[in-house]
Each structure stands twice: as C-alpha cells, then as structure tokens.
Structure 1
Amino acid sequence: MTMASVGTPAETRDYILERLVGETGEPERVTSAARSMGERAIARIAEGLANSLAISLEVDVKRVDLTRFADARPKPASHAAVTVAASVSSPDALMMVVDAGALSLVVSTVFGADPDMPVTPLERDPSPIEIEVATSVFTEVATALNGHGPRALDIKFPLPAPVSGPDLKKLSMRDTPAVRIVFSLTSRAGSGEVAVVMPQRVLLKHRADGIAEGGGAAQNAWGARFGEQVMRSNVEVVATMPIAQMTLGELSTLAIGQVVPFDDGAQANVRLAARDKTLFTCEFGRVGQNLSVRVREPFETGHDIIDGLLPANRA
C-alpha cells in the first residue's frame, strides 16, 4: 500500500503505525490467534474440498510463522499459484499460495488418478485447467477462514483469478507485518501446502482471541504497546539559527569563504525541528568543547506570524 492508496484517516493512521512499529504487537499472541483461526478452519476446508471437487484429503495446520506481506510472495520459478483476496476493510486481507505439490495432488485426484500412485509436483507453470482447480481450492479456503457474524473477515467473492510464473512479479504488495498459516494437504499419493498470509492488522481486527475481544483493557494494552514502540523510534532533530536579512542582490553575490555576520539576537532564536515540524525555540551555546542548544520554550506558530509582521509595522 502506498500513501496514495490510503483512504480514510483511520487507514492513514494504521499505515503510519505499521511503518513506525514494524512487527505489530506481541509475536506469541499474534501467532496464537492465527493458529486458533487455522485450526478452526481445518474441518470446513476439508468439507469444502469434498463438496466442490469431490476429493477427500487430510488437512492440517503445518506451521504458523511471522513474515512481512511482500516477502511472502513466492518466486516465479516455484510454479506456485497465488491470489490476493480483498475484504471490506482491506484490499489485501488474504494472500493464498498453493504450491506445486498441492496443486499437482489436487488436480490428479480430481481427474481420477490412481490414489496409490505417487504424485510428482509440477515442474512447470500451471495450465489453465490447473489454474481453474486452484481457484476452487482458494475459494474453499477463503470461505472457511471468512467466518460469519461480527468476527467475519468479509472477504469479497468471487476471488481474483490466480497468477503464477512471471505474472507473480506484477502483483502489487505492500510491505506490512503479516502472519502466515501453512495448511498441509495429504493423501496416500503425496502431499503439498496451501499457505494463507494475512496482514497482522487484519487478523487482530477480526480474529485476535483475547486481544481484539478483550474489551477496553485489551485495547488499552495495545495502545500502550504502540505508544511504547513509537516512543522508541529514532527521529532526526535539526537546529536552525537565522543569520541575517539580505536582499536578493546581496544573496546573488555570496561566494565561497565569505563571512556573513549574525543578526543581533540570532543565537537566542534557534528553531529545533523534527521531520519539518518546528517544536521548540532554543538558545545557541556551548557545553565544554561541544556546541549545543538550550530549549527555551515550545514553539508557537502564532508568535512566529506576529514576529514576521512586526518589521513591516515598524516601517
């Protein structure tokens, strides 16, 4: 997500917090919420595959780990199929990846291959028929994870068509903290993986057991966590001291090595700023061998405007 694509003030705030904080929240609690979500979806995924594709596979949560959304995109040479599902609250609520082994296993099972013959993972990009099968798999996984009621992810169906190979590079991915749930699909013929990657903010908004549903105390805890992390962020501080008023003609004649005297009182009017925002008015000085500034008072924009008008009034 770029700043240009951020919409409401709330989305802007969430975007800035993600950029400042990095990994969102406490890792153990994020992975615990994701694992609970995945384990609750296992039976629904297996049932959905049986109903839509008439196949019976064992489904399990293989692992849950933290990642960043953009880093979870597979390489084009992996022959995996990928889709990114939007929800009401997020343009990338779920990124789903079916690897070459799982896609080959599902396709062979759908088309009646011998269940006792080992399945070889794809060694090429998926064909249109295999992409169609991948769409069905993604639809069942997204439906199982979507849920219902106030905790629903509100995924938008139908899902976008999966992409693979060189087209993976064209997927627009924002760099945001995410969590990955890896489901294993297994039969006697082989196994493969379907990975679901969610922005941590989306997970915690909808499904954070004991976090999002914990009431005011939990919300306050998250607020304190964000505040603590933001307060530790490094910010460049710039002190600026005015030197003198000059005409454009005088400015055009400045040369290397020329000495420009300070105005009277310049050392007492140093501006201390961070990220182009003036914070304090300071005094310039020295502590031992080091130049320094001493904070005098908070900077007030109104005073700055009045000071700018005074020379004209005196004229």
Structure 2
Amino acid sequence: MPTYADLNMAPPKSWDEFEDIVCSAAKNRWRNADFARHGRQGQRQDGVDVFGNDDQGRLVGLQCKNTVSGLSREVVLDEVGKAESFKPDLAHLYVVTTGPTDKPLQEFVRELSQTRAQGSKFKVSVLFWNDVWQDLTLDESRLFQHYPQLKPATAANEPTHDQRLYEELKALLAFDPTVRLFRDHDFRGPFSRAAIRPLFEFYDTWDSPEREFMDPELQEGLAKLYAIGGRLAEGLAMRTVPVGNGDFASVFSDNQRARGPRPPEVIEDARVLNEEAREFVPVYERFMRRCREKLVR
C-alpha cells in the first residue's frame, strides 16, 4: 500500500518555506523538537540556517540551498567555510538541497568529510529533496502543517483530533468545581480535596504526545496552561495537609491549630497559593475560550 513517503512531491519554490520544511524534517530525523531556524532574514547566518542537537546530543547545523537544478561542489565548499564561524562549534554540517540525488556529489562530500574528520573538524553530509521528504513524512502532524492538502478528509460529523482533545480536557478540568475553587477560595481556609483532584490528574497525564493539539496556537496555549497548572499542583502538594476527617485540606494543620495562632510560614503558604491560583484561572479561561472559538462548529 502506498505511503506518504512514496509520493513524488515537488520541492517548494520559496526558500523560506523550504527552510521551515527542513526544520520540521530535522525534528523528525533526530527525534528532537528543539531544532530551530538560525536568526532571521538579513542577519548573518555563518553557513547555518537550522540548528539543534542530534539523537546523540551533538550540535548539528543545516544549510538550506533551494537549488532545484542541483548543487555544485564549489557551493558546498563555500558553505563549509562559512560554517567554521558558527558558535559553538558544530559536530556535523548538512548541506540540504531541493535538487535530485547526485551520486558524484555524494562521493565528493564523503571524501571531504573524511578529510575534515582526520583534522578534528566537523563532518559534512549532503541531503537531497528526497531525503528531506522521507524525514518529513515520519511525523504526519508535521507533514500536514506544510501540506494540509494531504490530510485525509474526515466525515462531516466525525470530530477532529483537536475537537476530541478539547472535549476530553473540558470533562477532566471543568470550571466547576475545580477552577471555581481556584477563582473564589481564600487558601487561608480549608478546601475540599476532591475539588482539586482533577488538577493533579491533568498534571500527571497531559504531558504526553497523544495529548498535543495539532493547531500550533492551541498547543502553545496548552503548554502554558500545563506549566502554570503544574506549579499550582506542586504548591498544593507541598503546602497543604489533610485536616478533619481527611476530606478537606489546609495550609493550617490540625496540630498547628491546636497549639495556637497561625505561624508566619502558614500565612506565607496561603499567600503563595492564592497568588498561584489567581494566576492559573485567567490562563485557563483564555485558553478554553480560544479552543471554543476555533473548534466548536
């Protein structure tokens, strides 16, 4: 059965689009989402358009050449020379071209890389459009970001991945009772442990690749919500204890209450939790409203 990798897709004509595609392909090739484009248009690139760490933690750079007609040896040597100035030093430079696979050029680059390695200089490889395409198809979500026309059509009434994710999040981290408690409660007093349990489940389970939005804006919003929610969850775990019959929790333990007035550290714990809760609520509200705007039809 044919796969996306089998498609004979033409390379992009735009150099800017090509660099974006190469960045996504690099993330897939080395399983590292931290690859990034180097600087912006008009800034000196030092022979590197995209950089990041490979799957062994070594710094690699990619120089993108939108040269459909092919890549010359002179251009490769010129880009290698420029990349010598990149800081910190590269372990490997990949010259990436939109051109077709060129066996003589591959041989030239292999010999060049071997000579450089003997002199303790970074290695060099060449990647052709076919290599980039193969890497890009390793992750369909990134493939569809650049080629949305390839995404299979869904049935009219079938929810998308993002719509299902939004409904799952609404069911788990509903406004009532969890977020309402964070909005209205003063943590100087006790609160229901059951009411905050969804926040802990959110923090425990929503950092997996299966729970990432396809929409970049929504995924960025989820990441922010997760970070702020995580700080609040950790604060609640560290600063509160069960009180009474165990159904409630408080910064002010039963033993401390029996000994007298609240000590300064208890007052400080309540202040911090109130601050973290007030920070969490507006981020939650903005994110859920944006999800509704984009996903509810």
Fold-level match, TM-score > 0.5? no
Which one has a larger percent helix, Structure 1 or Structure 2? 2
TM-score by length of 1: 0.23
Which one has a larger percent strand, Structure 1 or Structure 2? 1
Higher-Rg structure is 1
TM-score by length of 2: 0.24
